[in-house]
Structure 1
Amino acid sequence: MNVFYEESGSFKVGAIVSKNDASLQVDTQHGKRAKIKLANVFLEFSTPLQSFLDDAQALAAELDLDFLWEVAGADEFDYDALAREYWGDKPTAAQLAATLIRLAGAPMYFYKKGKGRFKAAPEDALKAALAGIEKKKREQAQVDAWAEELKAHRLPDEIRAQLMTLLWRPDKNALEYKALDAACRALSTSPLKLLRDAGGLPSVPDYLMAGFRLEHFPNGTGFGKYAPAEAHPELPLAEVTAFSIDDAATTEIDDALSVTELANGNRRVGIHIAAPTLGVPVGSDIEKLVYRRLSTVYFPGDKITMLPDDVVQMFTLDEGKPCPSVSLYAEVTPGFEIVGFENRIENVTIAANLRHHTLEPLFNEATIANDPGVDYPFKRELMWLHDFAIAREKSRGKYDPTRPQGVDFNFAIEDGRVVISERKRGSPIDKLVSEMMILANCEWGRQLGEAGIPALYRAQSMGKVRMTTRPEPHVGLGVPQYAWATSPLRRAADFINQRQLTALIRGDKPEFAQGDATLFALMRDFDTTYSAYLGFQDRMEFFWCLRWFSQEGVSEVTATYIKEDLVRLDSLPVRTRIPGLPELARGDRVRLQVIRIDELLLEIEFRCVGQLDHVEVEGNGEEEEG
Structure 2
Amino acid sequence: MHVLYEDAGKLKAETIFSEADTSLQVESASGKRSKIKRNAVLFTFEQPAPDTLLPAAETLAATLDAGFLWECAPQQEFEAAALAEEYFGHAPDAVEKTATILALSAAPAYFHRRGKGAFRPAPPDILQAALAAIEKKRRQAELQAEWTEALLAGTLPDALKPVAATFLDRPDKNTLEWKAFDAAVQQSGISPERLLLSLGVWPHPLAMMRDRFLSAHFPRGTQWPPVDVQDWGADLPQVEVEAYSLDDASTIEIDDALSVSIPAPGTVRVGIHIAVPALAVTRGSALDEQARARMSTVYMPGDKIPMLPRELIAAFSLDEGQWRPALSLYVTGRVADGEILEAETRLERIRVAANLRHGRIDEVTEAALADPAAPLPHAHWLRPLWQLAQALCAVRDRTRGKPENNDRIEYGFEIEGPPDDPDSIVRLVPRQRNAPLDRLVAEYMILANTQWGALLARHGVPGIYRSQQMGRTRMSTQALPHESIAVPQYIWSTSPLRRYVDLVNQGQILAAAEHGVSARLAAPFKPKDADLYALIGAFDSQYTLWGEFQSSMERYWCIRWLQQQGLKEVRAHVLRENLVRLACAPFVTRINGLPEYERGHEVRLDILGYDEIGLDIECRLREAG
TM-score by length of 2: 0.89
* C-alpha distance 44-290 of structure 1, shift in aligned 2 (>3 A): same
Q: Secondary structure at the match of 1:567?
A: strand
Identity of aligned residues (%): 44
* C-alpha distance 231-118 of structure 1, shift in aligned 2 (>3 A): farther
Q: Which amino acid aligns with 1:480?
A: P
Aligned pairs (5 A) from 1:466-485: 466-485=474-493
**Is the deviation greater in 133-142 or in 352-361?**
133-142
**Is the deviation greater in 552-561 or in 152-161?**
152-161
Cα distance in structure 1, aligned partners of 2:282 and 2:229 = 8
* C-alpha distance 504-522 of structure 1, shift in aligned 2 (>3 A): same
Q: Which residue of 2 aligns with 1:167?
A: 168
Cα distance in structure 2, aligned partners of 1:124 and 1:349 = 84
Q: Which residue of 1 aligns with 2:8?
A: 8
Instruction: Measure how far apart 1:39 and its partner are.
Output: 1.2
Q: Which residue of 1 aligns with 2:420?
A: none
Q: Which residue of 1 aligns with 2:416?
A: 414
Cα distance in structure 1, aligned partners of 2:123 and 2:486 = 79
Q: Which residue of 1 aligns with 2:421?
A: none
Cα distance in structure 1, aligned partners of 2:495 and 2:592 = 42
Q: Does 1:311 align with 2:312?
A: yes
Instruction: Measure how far apart 1:46 and its partner are.
Output: 3.0
Q: Does 1:506 align with 2:514?
A: yes
Q: Which amino acid aligns with 1:423?
A: R
Q: Which residue of 2 aligns with 1:349?
A: 351
On the 8 A contact 2:570/2:604 being kept in 1, the answer is yes
On the 8 A contact 1:230/1:280 being kept in 2, the answer is no
Q: Which residue of 2 aligns with 1:426?
A: 434
On the 8 A contact 1:240/1:260 being kept in 2, the answer is no
Q: Which residue of 2 aligns with 1:47?
A: 47
Q: Which residue of 2 aligns with 1:387?
A: 387
Instruction: Measure how far apart 1:32 and its partner are.
Output: 5.0
**Is the deviation greater in 367-376 or in 406-415?**
367-376
Q: Which residue of 2 aligns with 1:271?
A: 272
Q: Which residue of 2 aligns with 1:532?
A: 545
Q: Which residue of 2 aligns with 1:623?
A: none
Q: Secondary structure at the match of 1:212?
A: helix
Instruction: Measure how far apart 1:87 and its partner are.
Output: 5.0
* C-alpha distance 200-279 of structure 1, shift in aligned 2 (>3 A): closer
On the 8 A contact 1:226/1:285 being kept in 2, the answer is no
On the 8 A contact 1:229/1:280 being kept in 2, the answer is no
Instruction: Measure how far apart 1:521 and its partner are.
Output: 1.1
* C-alpha distance 126-467 of structure 1, shift in aligned 2 (>3 A): farther
Q: Which residue of 2 aligns with 1:246?
A: 247
Q: Which residue of 2 aligns with 1:621?
A: none
**Is the deviation greater in 59-68 or in 183-192?**
59-68
Cα distance in structure 1, aligned partners of 2:92 and 2:624 = 90
Pick aligned residue for 2:531 from 518, 523, 527: 518
* C-alpha distance 89-533 of structure 1, shift in aligned 2 (>3 A): same
Name stretches of at least 5 consecutive residues in structure 1 with no aligned partner: 613-626
Q: Does 1:154 align with 2:155?
A: yes
Q: Which residue of 1 aligns with 2:621?
A: 608
Instruction: Measure how far apart 1:260 and its partner are.
Output: 3.5
Across the two proteins, how many residue pairs are aligned to each other? 609
Q: Which amino acid aligns with 1:528?
A: S
On the 8 A contact 1:364/1:428 being kept in 2, the answer is yes
Q: Which residue of 1 aligns with 2:25?
A: 25
| CA shift digits 1:304-351 (9 cap, x unpaired) | 111121221222222221112211111234645421111111222222
Q: Which amino acid aligns with 2:155?
A: R
Name stretches of at least 5 consecutive residues in structure 2 with no aligned partner: 418-423
Q: Which residue of 2 aligns with 1:110?
A: 111
Cα distance in structure 1, aligned partners of 2:259 and 2:584 = 36
* C-alpha distance 450-91 of structure 1, shift in aligned 2 (>3 A): same
On the 8 A contact 2:573/2:582 being kept in 1, the answer is yes
| CA shift digits 1:563-583 (9 cap, x unpaired) | 433332211112333344455
Aligned pairs (5 A) from 1:571-586: 571-582=584-595, 584-586=597-599
**Is the deviation greater in 550-559 or in 199-208?**
199-208
Cα distance in structure 2, aligned partners of 1:122 and 1:283 = 62
| CA shift digits 1:567-613 (9 cap, x unpaired) | 3221111233334445544433222222332121122232232333x
Cα distance in structure 2, aligned partners of 1:236 and 1:75 = 96
Q: Does 1:132 align with 2:133?
A: yes
Cα distance in structure 2, aligned partners of 1:333 and 1:370 = 20
TM-score by length of 1: 0.89
Aligned pairs (5 A) from 1:220-235: 220-223=221-224, 225=225, 228=228, 231-233=231-233, 234-235=235-236
Q: Secondary structure at the match of 1:597?
A: strand
Q: Secondary structure at the match of 2:383?
A: helix
Q: Secondary structure at the match of 2:320?
A: coil
**Is the deviation greater in 415-424 or in 59-68?**
59-68
Cα distance in structure 2, aligned partners of 1:307 and 1:590 = 45
* C-alpha distance 343-70 of structure 1, shift in aligned 2 (>3 A): farther
Q: Which amino acid aligns with 1:476?
A: S
Instruction: Measure how far apart 1:544 and its partner are.
Output: 1.4
* C-alpha distance 426-263 of structure 1, shift in aligned 2 (>3 A): closer
Q: Which residue of 2 aligns with 1:360?
A: 362
**Is the deviation greater in 566-575 or in 544-553?**
566-575
Query: Over aligned residue pairs, what C-alpha RMSD do you find?
Result: 2.8
